[in-house]
Structure 1
Amino acid sequence: MQRTPEFTSVEGAYVALLRLATEGSEHHITARGNEAREVIGVGFRLTDPRQRLPYLAERKANPVFQFAEALWYLAGRRDLEMIGYYAPSMRASSADGIRLGGSAYGHTLFSPGGSTKQSQFDQVVELLLNEPDSKRGYLPVFKAKELADRRNPDVACLAGLHLLPRGGQLHMVCNMRANDLDCGLLSDVFSFTMIQEYAAIQLGLELGTYTHFIGSAHVNDRNAERVKRVLGEAESRPITPAFSFPAMPESTEGATIAHVLQHEEALRTNQLRYNAEHIRSLGLDPYWEQVIMLFELYRQIQHDQTVAVDPSLMAALDPGLRWLMERKWASCATAGGAL
């Protein structure tokens, strides 16, 4: 029996699934007005879940949004005020214009609830600390009641996450009821592997493999041209950019996430502006300093509407993040090219 295909990074899995849905689609579907090509029941495994960013110029992955969404999840939030700033299109999925429902995975996973007043995540961590080989470390997200209202604009695509400590490593299996391969897959894998790494730290384990299973894997017809360009780039480029994503600090805890988000809010609301020297004085690990730098660069793009962002901040970014920012926004490319 063939095991789930393995890749060292999300980029390899992303390209392989795009090719599968483009060249070997099983169905052409129309769901909620979106025409798409679909394959049913596919999956992959990442041997190094930290390599969670794709370096494809045609895709123009957005590391600002990806870090923002991961932090939004880890903080257990569901508000549009934060996530809508980084992804205005998500506002269309809100029933009341204030908060999100099923897609606010972090609220389901990390918000305290029930008689224990513990989050699902904390309960599973406690279980696994006491029963390291347990098979019960499952974090369900999708709820049957989400289907009760057929007008519900925001039904969870994530069914659940399964934490499995084995041999000193924390492995995780993700089950998706559906994944938009061109848009949703990349941000989902980024956030879920961040949750996996955060969980590994709380359990005192090394990071293991990440396995991703999808019920409906699809590419929307409206994105077909971009997908074609991405596949063309992946096939034709002579050298694949090689950047290594750093490890999350072992000191990371809930208070760390809250501290980072204090600075995120100040920048998002344009109350403060930071330079590289200021960010280095905030008392954060260099890993999280990089995230604040991304948020400050985005503040400059959104609030200052600058022609060229601060070149000292661009110079201070890790090479992989700088590469992505330069390709995502012209103002970053101008600054990067001037260094």
Structure 2
Amino acid sequence: MQTRTSYPTFEAAYLDHLMAVRESPEYVNAPRGFHSQEILGVTYRIANPRERIVRIPERKSNLVFNFAESLWYLSGGNSLDFISFYAPSMKKYSADGRRLAGTAYGPRLFNCGGAGFNQWDSIVRTLQQDPDSKRAVMQIFAPEELLIEGNIDVACTLGLQYMIREGALHAVSFMRANDAYRGTVSDVFSFTFLQEVLATQLGLRLGTYTHTVGSYHLYQHDETYAEKVLAARTEQLSTEPFPAMPAGDNWPAIREVLSLEAALRTQRLTLRAGDVSSLGLGKYWTDVVVLFALHAQWRHAGTVDRALLDVLGPLYARLVENRWGVLEPLSPAE
């Protein structure tokens, strides 16, 4: 079992552990027929969880999907229409073609067990009443998931824990399994994003994030991709810091962003560069809406408004251009 290792950013942790599982795996196996190599008991800590992206051009980080998945969780819903607009491949995990179960963490967080228990509100109360508490835990994996014959959508995450220490909100995630090349990129983005939303809601500084995984694995079909990323590990798209979430309660802005996302996705709204200033959301959340608007343009019309892209800050613009091949046609997001 590996001991905890600390890193300044997620990218540093990502590269180190991708190399470890690729070059020095403990086991080689094929659960459900998917050949992989793995390391057991992986734990690493990120000193600055806001630096939650991989900036290496070869990795082609999907910033739009990362924000979409995080906000999908915060919406509390399980709609396949929402998340498959950004990742069509997720349709294969839906049993009924309309919803996702294990992959959809939102209902677990805000309507646990379908009984209306809001775990998010519960941990807010817990931490407000006792800032030293160790009980601020949101459970995600449900034991009954394993009772469903042939279940193809079992939650990979067991739970999330939050602790206030010396005026900062620290987070720890517990996962039964994590894909070292693909899954960990989106999972760490989402979990640190949720951590930052909670920290701003509580009026706290952003503390450390610790990622804990039972089986950290690399699938055989991703070995070539992993090799290319590791070979290009010194290259960077941008050195601009990842933007900080505004101080204070961000939930009103999040609800408005979710409303605008739905309108853009369903073509009830088209956003142009000249419309951006009227959103009234501030730079941070306006840029998220612009990302969704760019994606909607590309999905619906096959083109992207360059003027709208130029509204984004340099880091986001570089990530989008790198992902989409400098605005050339691209197959839909993975």
| TMscore range, shorter length | over 0.9
CA distance in 2, matches of 1:151, 1:69: 25
**Residue identity in the other structure for 1:230:** V
Q: Which residue of 2 aligns with 1:162?
A: 161
Task: Tell which deviates more after alignment, 89-98 or 168-177.
Answer: 89-98
CA distance in 2, matches of 1:127, 1:276: 43
Asked whether the 8 Å contact 2:107–2:114 carries over to 1, the reply is no
Query: 1:283, CA displacement in angstroms?
Result: 1.3
1:300-322 per-position Cα deviation (integer Å, ceiling 9, x unaligned)? 2111112xx22222222111111
Aligned with 2:305 (options 301, 306, 310)? 310
Assess if the C-alpha contact under 8 Å between 1:127 and 1:137 holds in 2. yes
Instruction: List alignment gaps of at least 5 residues for structure 2.
Output: 330-334
Change in 2 beyond 3 A, CA 1:39/1:109 = same
Distance in 1, Cα, partners of 2:174 & 2:6? 16
What does residue 65 of structure 1 align with?
65
Match of 1:297 in 2: 294
Which residue, out of 248, 259, 262, partners 1:262? 259
Deviation, 1:98, is 0.9
Distance apart, 1:226 and its partner CA: 0.5
Give matches, 1:98-109, under 5 Å. 98-109=98-109
- Supply the distance in 2 between the matched residues of 1:207 and 1:264 (Cα, whole angstroms): 27
Question: Which of 251-260 and 220-229 deviates more?
Answer: 251-260
Q: Is the 8 A contact 1:314 1:332 kept in 2?
A: no
Aligned alpha-carbon RMSD (Å): 1.8
Return the alpha-carbon distance in structure 1 between the equivalents of residues 255 and 11 of structure 2: 30
Residue type of the alignment partner of 1:255: P
AA aligned opposite 2:29: I
Cα gap change, 1:106 to 1:114, in 2 (>3 Å)? closer
Q: Give % identity.
A: 43
Q: Secondary structure at the match of 2:232?
A: helix
**Aligned partner of residue 144 in structure 2, secondary structure:** helix
Q: Distance in 2 between matches of 1:13 and 1:304?
A: 38
Q: How many residues are paired up?
A: 328
User: Within 5 A, what are the aligned runs for 1:145-184?
Assistant: 145-184=144-183
Among candidates 237, 241, 245, match of residue 244 of structure 1: 241
Aligned mates of 2:263, 2:130 — CA distance in 1: 41
Does 1:218 pair with 2:208? no
Q: 1:332 aligns to what? A: 327
Which residue of structure 2 aligns with residue 26 of structure 1? 26
For 2:217 and 2:113, the matched residues in 1 are separated by: 34
The structural deviation recorded for 1:330 is 2.8
Asked if the contact 2:238/2:318 (under 8 Å) is kept, the reply is no
